[in-house]
Structure 1
Amino acid sequence: MNHSDYRRLTPWVQWSAVVLLFACIASVFLLAGGCRESESPSPPGPSTAKEIVFYGFAEDMPQTVLDAFTREYGIAVRHLTFQSPEEAENEIRSGREFDVALVENQLIPALVEKRLVDEIDLTNIPNFKYISGNFRDLVIDPGNRHSIPASYGTTGLIVRTDLVGQDLKRWEDLWQPRYAGKIGLRAQQREIIGMTLLSLGYQFASENPQHLAAVEKRLQQLRPAVVMVDIEAEDAVRRLLQGEIAILHGYAEDYHVAHESNAAIAYVLPAEGTPLWAESYIIPGHGRHRQYGELFINFLLRPEITAQIINEKKYAQPNDAALSLLNPEIRNDPMVFPGDDQFRRGFIITPLSQAGQKVFDDVWTRFMGEKP
């Protein structure tokens, strides 16, 4: 983002941009003292929980990590999944019981305001000490009373250059007739509407009614040219590799999985800028076992466990002590740990006003072919 754009941002968005930029810079350095020993508090009394429920995207958490927690504590972890942030928010609002959820940061303020998230006792999460100081105490959750930073990254386009060449450089290029029928989009409302705003020269999170009317018209023009794909990399990347689509709206994990099978696949961060996403662990208020949810989060923050997650899933996490445990090719990969320029051209996904969210919802519902 340029300096004039930055001055127009709200103070919390300015701070978040600085946080992500400096966290990125810090991530390329190893701690001088190496990895500190993680703390593993004993379960709070005899375990009355035979199972806890973890709620997140299907491919956010390696099964090997869940199995390791079960072996150590004798508590099974059932992983329930969602396809979009909006689905996650609706399920949590409905009162479904989840002991830990991994959600995108823009959801947290509204969930806290509605008292749908329990307060976290950080004394039960001693491994919080490994979280980078640049990611703590954000305005979305002062003092980390309700959330623990988990992961972050960029959104871009994964492109089969062997099928469509290397000319695709901007979001606006998606509207070129030659790409019709070759584009795969995920059901990510904020990212798709945001990239359309950018393609029109507007701000990523503009709530201007005229801008959003133009976005709706432009999305309706694009709709016949796109295929909606699942959020999971397994399905989306399969369709890319099989040639059903040649352009996939996606993330670093998609690129790495696809590139292993086809070296002609590129990860493009469009010139207008890229959405910057971040996720955090929360304990929904309808969960049955808050203390075991905290135990699970503390387990996930162990440097060796965090490193295992990063090495396998290829998403950055702000855990300082995990850096020295990463595979060097992952630690030095700008697709996983984005560089300064990528952050400067990025747009953090932040909460909308209530009125703005209503308009976004209506635009998205009509784009998906439903009545609002």
Structure 2
Amino acid sequence: MRQLAALPPVPYQPEALGEALRQEQAWVAVAWVGDYILARQALPDLVYALPAEGTLLWMEHYVIPRGARYPEAALRLLNYLLRPEISAQITTRSLWATANEASWSQVHLEPELQALIFPPAEALSNAELTLPLSPEAEMTYNQIWEQFLRDRSTSAPTPSASPAPR
């Protein structure tokens, strides 16, 4: 953990990812494919790779809060957004994948972008969805994170020296 804490901080700002890489504030980054596509505008030689060892899957959720003032209107909006032709338009314009499989054939992008947004199944064979932690695991996670922040605040990063292993 001390090795991570000794690294110079690079705030995660998806819109500034390409600039941070171009200015060599970072040489590698973990990014969602949409962030990579944006970063590639600033750095055309940027390469995106899905690790064979696996990666995290993510998803967005449409929800209607229990106390919503106009739940019927919200439901109509969700039904509209989930229509295959609308879902395909959203993906085509935003360059973010959709889980709405009925819309996939209606997404029309350059083949390279299509392959990034919808990677082949074999590229995701080791990918995992993160699920909510149990209360005990959440507490452990928070303790580790707090320790990381404490270590980070007391370490003085020096670019020329390697941090000592813990």
CA distance in 2, matches of 1:300, 1:320: 13
- Which of 69, 86, 92 lines up with 1:305 in the alignment? 86
Distance 1:242 1:297, change over 3 A: farther
Bigger drift between 237-246 and 274-283 goes to 237-246
CA distance in 2, matches of 1:278, 1:344: 17
Letter of the structure 1 residue corresponding to residue 9 of structure 2: V
Whether 2:131 is the aligned partner of 1:359: answer no
How far did 1:245 drift? Answer: 1.9
- Which of 47, 50, 54 lines up with 1:273 in the alignment? 54
Alpha carbons 1:239, 1:245 under 8 Å: kept: yes
Q: Secondary structure of 1:247's match?
A: coil
What is the TM-score normalised by the length of structure 1?
0.37
Unaligned segments of structure 1, at least 5 residues: 1-217
Distance 1:354 1:229, change over 3 A: same
What do you get for the CA RMSD once the two structures are aligned?
A: 2.5
Whether 2:7 is the aligned partner of 1:225: answer yes
4+ residue segments displaced more than 4 Å: none
How far did 1:276 drift? Answer: 1.5
How far did 1:359 drift? Answer: 0.6
Alpha carbons 1:307, 1:325 under 8 Å: kept: yes
1:20-35 matched pairs, under 5 angstroms = none
2:28 maps to 247
Whether 2:41 is the aligned partner of 1:260: answer yes
Q: Deviations over 1:11-52 (max 9, x none)?
A: xxxxxxxxxxxxxxxxxxxxxxxxxxxxxxxxxxxxxxxxxx
Alpha carbons 1:240, 1:246 under 8 Å: kept: yes
Unaligned segments of structure 2, at least 5 residues: 152-166
CA distance in 1, matches of 2:49, 2:66: 39
Q: Deviations over 1:64-111 (max 9, x none)?
A: xxxxxxxxxxxxxxxxxxxxxxxxxxxxxxxxxxxxxxxxxxxxxxxx
How far did 1:290 drift? Answer: 1.7
Distance 1:308 1:365, change over 3 A: farther
What fraction of aligned residue pairs are identical, expressed as a percent?
A: 29
Alpha carbons 2:19, 2:42 under 8 Å: kept: no
1:320 maps to 101
Q: Secondary structure of 2:141's match?
A: helix
Alpha carbons 2:57, 2:128 under 8 Å: kept: yes
How far did 1:331 drift? Answer: 8.5
Bigger drift between 322-331 and 345-354 goes to 322-331
- Matched positions, count: 151
